[in-house]
């Protein structure tokens, strides 16, 4: 097996990406979930998104959630915003790590943020200028990077062009989102390889869904290429309201369980994370897809 990173960085996206696809959860529950995640050793948490409440009512209380959580030492918190107005709100709230999403698929971008991909890209230069002036960083998330539920396969060159345009406008980092779980290991290797050749020094994060059962296989393929920054969602919460069939982010505890057993450090306390996954399951009121939550870690034995 190829050399693997000694350690990876995880961004927990359950409180935002996970809960946006659920029935609205009470603010108290969101705050409790983030506070619990902050005590697991996860180093980064995507806490909220700043979107219009008519579009995503689940995130209507973003300011209140952010004001009430306990900011744990050593944990970095970020917010996602779809446009300049959302970024302004996030900066005003005090966030210094901003994520801006643009879809490689024009159809998905229009469904997601009601504008074309080109219009979203045009906004990024202004967003970066504003964020940098306020001391914040901007990560450009390219959604539907491995396929679109409306258009099917998205050409590799289009994904690379969208990523390159965002970086040319000043984005500090890049993330590829597998919005509906259409990626497979060879496709991951191809896109990551091409990106590394064109932008070797740009920080790269990957966001996989397990919709078709390939989530952890895709993580392994990326690890073998040296990628050391991943999104995951506690319990496997998540999906995209504007992408049919997008259920099932890679579960944080499944990713931690796998890579730690392979000798790759995460800094995460797996038992604490499993307790938090059970808390998330109670919060949303239905069974979550995480297999490690059901079966426990590999080392668990019967009584």
The CATH number assigned to the domain with range 9-295 reads 3.20.20.70
Confidence of residue 300 (pLDDT cuts 50, 70, 90): confident
> b/e map of 105-136 (b: 16 or more CB within 10 Å)?
bbbbbbbbbebebeebbebbeebbebbeebeb
Using CA of residue 101, residue 103, residue 106, residue 109, what is the dihedral sign?
negative
Tell me what the mean pLDDT of segment 27-54 comes to.
97
174-215 confidence digits (pLDDT tens)? 999 999 899 999 999 999 999 999 999 999 999 999 999 999
Catalytic residue among 240, 256, 259, 268: 240
What is the DSSP-derived secondary structure letter of residue 106? H
**Could you give phi then psi for residue 141, rounded to 5 degrees?**
-100, 120
What is d(CA 75, CA 38) in angstroms, rounded to the nearest whole number? 7
Q: What percent of the chain has pLDDT over 90?
A: 87
**Could you give phi then psi for residue 142, rounded to 5 degrees?**
-95, 105
What is d(CA 285, CA 270) in angstroms, rounded to the nearest whole number? 22
75-88 confidence digits (pLDDT tens)? 999 999 999 999 99
pLDDT score of 299: 85
What is d(CA 182, CA 180) in angstroms, rounded to the nearest whole number? 6
128-157 confidence digits (pLDDT tens)? 999 999 999 999 999 999 999 899 999 999
Q: Is the distance from CB of 246 to CB of 181 less than 8 angstroms?
A: yes
Within a 10 A sphere around the Cβ of 217, how many other Cβ atoms? 15
pLDDT score of 113: 87
95-137 confidence digits (pLDDT tens)? 999 999 999 999 999 988 889 999 999 999 999 999 999 999 9
The domain limits of the chain are 9-295
Tell me what the mean pLDDT of segment 285-298 comes to.
93
Confidence of residue 248 (pLDDT cuts 50, 70, 90): confident
The verdict on whether 148 is a catalytic residue reads no
């Amino acid at each position: 097996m190829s050399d693997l990173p000694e350690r990876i960085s995880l961004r927990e996206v359950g409180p935002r990406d996970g809960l946006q696809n659920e029935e609205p959860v009470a603010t108290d529950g969101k705050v409790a979930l983030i506070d619990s995640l902050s005590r697991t050793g996860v180093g980064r948490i995507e806490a909220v998104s700043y979107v219009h409440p008519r579009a995503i009512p689940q995130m209507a209380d973003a300011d209140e959630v952010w004001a009430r959580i306990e900011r744990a030492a050593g944990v970095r918190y970020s917010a996602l915003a779809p446009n300049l107005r959302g970024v302004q709100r996030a900066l005003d709230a005090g966030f210094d790590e901003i994520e801006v999403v643009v879809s490689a698929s024009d159809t998905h971008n229009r469904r997601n943020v009601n504008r074309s991909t080109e219009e979203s890209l045009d906004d990024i230069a202004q967003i970066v200028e504003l964020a940098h002036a306020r001391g914040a960083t901007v990560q450009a998330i390219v959604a539907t990077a491995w396929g679109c539920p409306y258009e099917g396969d998205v050409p590799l060159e289009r994904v690379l062009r969208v990523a390159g345009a965002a970086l040319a406008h000043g984005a500090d980092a890049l993330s590829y989102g597998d919005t509906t779980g259409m990626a497979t290991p060879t496709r991951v290797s191809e896109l990551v390889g091409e990106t590394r050749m064109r932008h070797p020094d740009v920080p790269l994060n990957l966001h996989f869904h397990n919709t078709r059962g390939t989530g952890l296989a895709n993580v392994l393929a990326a690890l073998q290429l040296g990628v050391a920054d991943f999104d995951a969602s506690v319990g496997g919460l998540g999906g995209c309201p504007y992408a049919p069939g997008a259920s099932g982010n890679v579960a944080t505890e499944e990713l931690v369980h796998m890579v730690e057993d392979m000798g790759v450090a995460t800094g995460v306390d797996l038992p604490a994370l499993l307790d938090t996954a059970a808390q998330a399951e109670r919060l949303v009121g239905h069974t979550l897809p995480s297999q490690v939550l059901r079966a426990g870690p590999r080392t668990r034995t019967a009584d």
